[in-house]
Structures are given as C-alpha cells and as structure tokens.
Amino acid sequence: MLPFFKIAVGTWAWGNRLIWDYGIDFDEKDLAELVRNAISKGSRYFFTSESFSDGFGEALLGKLAEPYPNAFLATKYVPRIWRPGRKDFSAALRRSLRRLRRDTIDLYLLEAPAGLMRLQLLAECAVEGVEAGKIRNVGVASFPAREIEPFYETLARYGVPLTAVSGEFNLLNRQAERDGTIDFCKARNIPFLAESPLAMGLLTGKYIYDAPENGVRRNLTERYRQERLSLLIHLMNSIGSEYQGMDCTQVALNWVSSKGAIPIAGAKTLAQEDHNRLFSSFALSADQVSRIEEFTPG
C-alpha cells in the first residue's frame, strides 16, 4: 500500500527547455530550493518519468533528492515498439534506478504495452522487479480503462498488488470520470493520481486572456481551450476568496481532491510548490463543486 499523501510534485518541466523554458524561467538552483522546502514542510512525494527530457528530468530529480532519503520517488516506464521484451524492461529499470540514484523505486508506474509486448509480459516484468527488490510499488499510468482490471488481476495472481493508477485528470479533461477509472479505483481502495491537474497552467488563470508565449506549450494547451474558460476562472477565484484568499489554482486542485483523486501538481519554484500545497487547507462544498462543473465539459 502507498503511504497516504494529499499532493505530489510533478516534474515534467524539470530540465525541459523546449516546452517549459528550463534555464530561462527557472534553473537547477530553483529546483534545489523547491525540493528542500517541500521536504522540510512534509511534502516528500515527487513524480517523474524516463521520458522527461530523455531521462534528464529523472536524473535531475535523483540528484536533487539524493540528500533526502525519505523523499518518495515515483517514475514511469514507457513501453516503446522497439523494446518488446524482458531484457528491454530490465534495462529501462536499471537506467531509471541509476538516474534516480536509488536501489529501489518507491513507485514504478507502467504505461500501457506497445508493439509486441502484452499485458501478461508487462505484469511478469513488474513482478520480477518487485521480487528483485528494485520496485517497491507497482502502478499503471494512462492505461485504457478496459485494460486496468485485467492487469490488476494478473498482478494479483502473482501476489503483487496494483497500488496506484495515474492519468490526466482536471476540470477541462474529466475522461477518468466518464470511463469509470476513478470508480474502479474507489471500489478497490487504489489511489488515483491526477496528472496535469491544472491543465498545463490554464487553470491557474495566467493565460485567461493570452495564450502561453512558448509556441510548443501554446499548441499543447489548445486541446483544453473552451469558450467559457474565463468564466470558470472568475468563478473559481470568487469561490477561493471565501477561504482566506485562496485562488483559482487552489480551487482547481481542491476540485480534483473532491473527486477522491490526488493531484500531481507541477512546480518549478519554491513559491509555486508552497502555493499549490495550500489547496488542502479548505474543502469545497457539494454546491460549489456543482457550480464549478457547470462551466466544464462533463
């Protein structure tokens, strides 16, 4: 079982210059301060992936978290069509361990199989990693809803629990509600981890009138655009003001929590991480949740 936590730090931006302007808007010094501050205040959960900046993001987290043995590090295995077998999985696991500077990964999230790899083989590889002491917890990430239960059952036959499910989930993308993923997790007491809970920054209100300056990021956020986004932001700011000056960012994260999910909120600076963490200082009422959802795609 995973230890209980309310929020985790997402690290997609760490080391990523193409989308997130690493080295321009923030750098390693900012991230070191973020890690030190987060852990000192009890937020010790960090999520990365072998795919973030071709492993550089993973290595950066490993370097910055090395002085803190109590930091909880989660990373993702991303199947590729050219990596179909056991040896490929084992090699990817070894590389992630090396970059994270750990002997064991606290949570290894597996994306859905690709190419010739099948669910059965992926499960067997994960089990072997657990038995070798290299993986502490096994989860899945961005799995098609129909494949989560078969994978859960396959792991169970080997005596290994599925301890987490992650996927994109925010006010502008509620697919995990529609397809039954969150209900599946609730029924089995499995934490659902919400990736991109702020919709790449759109729910922070920063881009309410203007799109991001970064062209790549601007193109990626287009999938979230909707006509009533500005009304949603204004409503969330109004609701947040009722809770000692909270804002739309914290309300958006609180909405995720109201659904029984744990937000993995990206942060690039100490101030952002502090700001995100305050979301848990209040709880939206059922009426407020309903009002917010009137402005979101169902």
**Predicted confidence (pLDDT) per residue in 86-127, tens digit:** 999 999 999 999 999 999 999 999 999 888 889 999 999 999
Least confident of 196-200, 226-230, 274-278: 226-230
| DSSP alpha helix (H) spans, the chain | 17-20, 28-40, 56-65, 86-100, 119-131, 145-157, 175-178, 181-187, 215-221, 229-241, 248-258, 270-277, 286-293
CA atoms within 13 A on the CB side of 107: 26
Within a domain: residue 1?
no
Within a domain: residue 187?
yes
Is the pLDDT assigned to residue 220 strictly greater than 60? no
What is the mean pLDDT of the segment spanning 156-176? 97
CATH of the domain at 98: 3.20.20.100
Within a domain: residue 298?
no
d(CA 244, CA 104): 41
Within a domain: residue 219?
yes
Q: Confidence band (pLDDT; 50, 70, 90) for 84?
A: confident
Residue 83: per-residue pLDDT: 86
Give the range of the structural domain holding residue 266, as residue numbers without chain letter.
8-293
Give how many domains the chain has, as a whole number.
1
Task: Evaluate if pTM is beyond 0.85.
Answer: yes
Is the pLDDT assigned to residue 209 strictly greater than 80? no
Strand partners, 9: 46, 265
Within a domain: residue 236?
yes
Within a domain: residue 2?
no
What is the mean pLDDT of the segment spanning 29-57? 96
Among candidate residues 226, 233, 217, 192, the one with its CA nearest the CA of residue 268: 217
Does residue 170 sit in helix, strand or coil?
Answer: strand
